[in-house]
Amino acid sequence: GAVVSQHPSWVICKSGTSVKIECRSLDFQATTMFWYRQFPKQSLMLMATSNEGSKATYEQGVEKDKFLINHASLTLSTLTVTSAHPEDSSFYICSAREVSRTGPFQPQHFGDGTRLSIL
């Protein structure tokens, strides 16, 4: 159980292109999903918290107009990297926490990430 699927797993595109990444919870509902970015040999850095039916909460230093997040249902959140440039190249990973469990002590379950390469 608790499977999170990300799509696509790998994207190569030209500078200036906008790229959409999907994050789905396959066998559970998630009111909250999280988007992370990971550079090579580094740890995961939280970019934003995606809340179903409301605006996302962005971490300090993350441009909300650059990284558009939509969480339209309890099983889907999307991250759109707008007008991507080479410095946006990274490994983007989403996670979700089950809504069926009560209390704050619930692990986040992660997707397998999307490797974004901007030429």
Partner 1 sequence: GESVGLHLPTLSVQEGDNSIINCAYSNSASDYFIWYKQESGKGPQFIIDIRSNMDKRQGQRVTVLLNKTVKHLSLQIAATQPGDSAVYFCAENIGGAQKLVFGQGTRLTINP
Closer CB to partner 1, residue 14 or residue 100?
A: 100
Taking the complex as a whole, how short is the minimal distance between the CB of residue 101 and partner 1, in angstroms? 12
Asked if the peptide bond before residue 8 counts as cis, ω within 30 degrees of 0, the response is yes
Q: Shortest CA distance to 100 belongs to which of 25, 5, 20, 9?
A: 25
92 secondary structure, DSSP code: E
- Of the candidates 7, 20, 31, 44, which one interacts with partner 1 according to CB under 8 A? 44
Q: Restricting to residues 69-98, which ones interact with partner 1 according to CB under 8 A? A: 93, 95
Judge contact between 76 and 109, C-beta under 8 A. no
Taking the complex as a whole, how short is the minimal distance between the CB of residue 109 and partner 1, in angstroms? 6
Judge contact between 114 and 35, C-beta under 8 A. no
What is the token pair recorded at 104? 């704050």
Check binding of 107 to partner 1 (CB under 8 A): yes
The mark string for 6-35 relative to partner 1 (x by CB under 8 A, - otherwise) is x-------------------------x-x-
